[in-house]
Amino acid sequence: MSRLYAHHNSSSLSEQAESKVLILYTGGTIGMKKTERGYEPYPNYLANSLKSLPMLHDPNYDQELFSPPDNLESLICPVSIYGCRVIYCVMEYEPLMDSSDMSMDVWAKIAMDIRKYYEIFDGFVILHGTDTMAYTSSALSFMLEDLGKSIILTGAQVPIYEQRSDGRENLLGALIIAGHYVIPEVTLYFDHKLYRGNRVIKDNNREFNAFQSPNFAPLANVGIDIEVQWSSIFRSGKLQKFHIYTSMSSNVGILRLFPGITAETIRTFLLPPMEGVILLSYGSGNAPSRFPNIINEFRKACDRGVLILNISQCCRGFVDDSYMVGKILTNVGIIPGADMTPEAALTKMSYLLGRDDLDLATKRRMLKENLRGELTVRLSWKESEFINSVAQALKATSIKEIDTIQSMLFPVLLCSAAAVGNVSSLKTLTEQGANVNSCDYDGRTPLHLASYEGHIEAVRFLLEKGASVFSRDRLHRTPYIDALLNSQAEVVKILKISGAHLHIGGEEITFYLNNLIEENNVKSLKLWEEAGVDLNLKGSDFRTPLHTAVCCNRIEVVKYLMEIGVDLQAKDIFGKTAMDYAIALSRTNIIQVMNYP
């Protein structure tokens, strides 16, 4: 477990003045109002309640630098101990719903809303009822592919306005984590613990610790400090932008074995249109072995293409076919499901069956694979010979001491290797257990350094190992910004393919563009334009790059801006166009380039 501050790990946004989080409020107990009919969802009630809670809204802070999209109202948390304010908007769904009414259509809406606002906000919090929250967190973990930002579900056992509500702590904790840390997973935050979303079950409806993750430790624990298990964070390692899949199959079901279950019951359950079944078997994956008619029904269903995934009725442990009765199920075509929860198994099945781009054999194979951290892959552990040697020299013997040595040495070695493009050393260090998102004293990750220096193979290797394109250093720069500032065109291209986008505001972009214009650096201007920057962007004085190029007498820049068709009629704060300045300054050559009649 490691403590994270900006100068210790760049996956923290802790020194950023502001971060932006979108809350998608689907319903649930957290925002319910007490009426004569009992607790029920009430439109616009939650957002108004939040304004009266000082730990969740500071009404005196000026928010002019952030203009929320789609007329959303923004609220802002007080400054955290990490020096960051979290600005957040609440998007309330209509109608608000009890989580018992959750559906695959709503899952699709959540996924599409995240995609719509993905480049505007730094993280997302989903407010949801607790009864089906584990299903939603599991489903979204599969629907949201190649994530680079934090997605956190939370809710409450008691409405947020009640005196003894757990909702305030749950929402505040989720906002702080989403606004301060880049944890690129769908997670669930409850009772001071952050869980992987596809590992949780709801096991308590009377206490605040409503959720448990029986086969996987929490990703973070929130106490006096926020301690994140960075080595446990799941990263896809694919060089792809964030994208979503919303086509989920509803022809799925859960079949629980019980003593006395009949072959007829099983046959009826497996009839069309059923396409995928989660079989809750006994113990470590066992089923009745002395009733061949039961086994035969499973065989016939598998033969006609029904996918059956075998998981245990036990919360802890995994399916193991070392027993004869477990092997029987595997032999007829039933797929072992390791230690998946029922919620994860069902939503994974629904997700794969909805993928029309996959054939049946591929779907069978992927059911057994670890797609989003939903199951435990049993591998042998290779000790770090290097760390053990250092520990021995320092006479360190405890696990805590060795972990401390590792956390001190690996970031330095990784960053040094990345800065010179030494892929061989990067590979050796990651095999020894080094975290590719660790950082140096300036908050710069190995990806920052490799990107700035233009070491394309090192960049590619780090991305394949799960390096975050959204990590920010002490100056709040991402690897994408570093590559742009040093005109590393090939690096910019691969980072963009991997989902990187500009996160900085117009004023900062204008500052960088003006520097490039003064340097007459057309090549770098082209790179910024290819990165998605609008070269009609106006600064605080409403001047565009064309205004600046004319005033600085940079004719090559003017030629380029004319080639891409920038707006000639844009006026600055004094009502002047770029042509007005060209005439006033007698820029004859520039006037000719601008085709002045």
How many helices, marked H, and strands, marked E, lie in the chain? 22, 20
Phi, psi at 229, each rounded to 5°: -85, 80
Measure the CA–CA gap between 112 and 116, rounded to whole angstroms: 6
How many other β-carbons are positioned within 10 Å of the β-carbon of residue 299? 17
Measure the CA–CA gap between 199 and 342, rounded to whole angstroms: 10
Among 29, 130, 132, 136, which one carries the catalytic annotation? 29
> How would you classify the pairing of strands 150-154 and 335-336?
unpaired
C-beta separation of 165 from 143 below 8 A: no
Q: What angle do CA 29, 35, 41 make, to 5 degrees?
A: 35
Give CA separation, 489 vs 196, 415, 433, 502, 513, in Å. Answer: 36, 21, 31, 15, 16
Based on its alpha-carbon atoms, the radius of gyration of the chain, rounded to whole angstroms, reads: 27
Please give the structure tokens belonging to residue 8. Answer: 């210790």
Largest CA-CA distance found in the chain, in angstroms, rounded: 98
Phi, psi at 298, each rounded to 5°: -65, -40
Grouping H, G, I as helix, E, B as strand and the rest as coil, residue 580 is helix
Grouping H, G, I as helix, E, B as strand and the rest as coil, residue 381 is coil
29 annotated active-site: yes
- Name residue 486's beta-bridge partners: none
Dihedral sign of CA atoms 426, 185, 311, 282 in order: positive
How many other β-carbons are positioned within 10 Å of the β-carbon of residue 188? 32
Measure the CA–CA gap between 176 and 4, rounded to whole angstroms: 13
| Residues 504/508/511/517 CA torsion (nearest 10 deg) | 20
Dihedral sign of CA atoms 308, 309, 315, 319 in order: positive
Grouping H, G, I as helix, E, B as strand and the rest as coil, residue 495 is helix
C-beta separation of 274 from 308 below 8 A: no
> How would you classify the pairing of strands 335-336 and 307-312?
parallel
HEC per residue, 149-164: CEEEEECCCCCCCCCC
Measure the CA–CA gap between 135 and 107, rounded to whole angstroms: 10
Q: Which residues does the annotation mark as catalytic? A: 29
